[in-house]
Amino acid sequence: MSRTRRAADEYASACLTQGYISDADVHRILQLWKFPASTTRKNVTPDGQSAIQSETLGVLRSRTGKLGVSRNTLQYANVFRLLCRWIHTKTQGELCQAFPFTSICMNSAYAAKRHRDSNNVGPSMIHAFGDFTGGRLQYWADDEGHVDLAELDEATALEIDLKDGIVLFDGLRAHAVRPFVGERFSIIYFTVHGTKL
């Protein structure tokens, strides 16, 4: 695992010297990154699966509730810098302003089941990478959290193609990822609850 992550960090270092970070650069980082199997995030793990491939860089909350920077953020700092520069460039260009965040969640090869985030505050940004079909974001934009997730009407959800560009959404509202075929990665920028920007 460390060998492939070192390769990702070396690739990121080379990209950073060139200035502009492309979507293809981020895609390559995600391909090189060795994702751990996570068994703790039951709220997003698809039914029938026991684990997902996911990693969060930046600020994390420990099981005891303490906030801190993840070890892999420090160990592979060039990857973190590259991802920060990419979103800064994208939001300045598409939103005309920088997007504040504390954490970056990288995901590989799974379609998150219907859920609401519980550790976030404020909006999130998401984008998907890879050669895949399907995998749209299913998003209940009017969800206020009062209805059981299972009772939400699918007809009221938006379906958003995450390959078209970065998407701003509220993770506290119900959302899911539709099934897909092919290689699919996603990256989500968000702010951990309890931090001040």
Q: Quick one: residue 58, left, alpha or beta (phi over 0 = left, psi -120 to 50 = alpha)?
A: left
Under the banding of pLDDT at 50, 70 and 90, the label for residue 62 is confident
pLDDT for residue 196 is more than 70: no
* Of 153, 151, 128, 14, nearest in space to 81 by CA: 14
Q: What is the pLDDT of residues 33-51, one digit of tens each?
A: 999 899 988 999 999 999 9
Give the rounded percent of residues in the chain with a pLDDT score beyond 70.
95
pLDDT of residue 65: 80
Q: What is the mean pLDDT of residues 144-164?
A: 95
138-174 residues labelled b (16+ CB within 10 A) or e (exposed): bbbeebeeeeeeeebeeeebeebebeeebbebbbbeb
What are the angstrom distances between the C-alpha of 116 and each of 65, 125, 174? 19, 15, 5
Phi, psi of 60 (to 5 degrees): -130, 155
Sequence-distant (6+) residues with CB within 8 A of 38 are 51, 52, 53, 54
**Number of CB atoms found within 10 A of residue 54's CB:** 22
Q: What is the mean pLDDT of the chain?
A: 93
Asked if 9 contacts 76 with a C-beta cutoff of 8 angstroms, the reply is: yes
What is the model's pTM? Answer: 0.94
72-103 residues labelled b (16+ CB within 10 A) or e (exposed): bbeebebbbbbbbbbbeebbeeeeeeebebbb
Each domain of the chain, given as residue ranges in start order, spans: 38-70+84-192
Domain 38-70+84-192 has CATH 3.60.130.30: yes
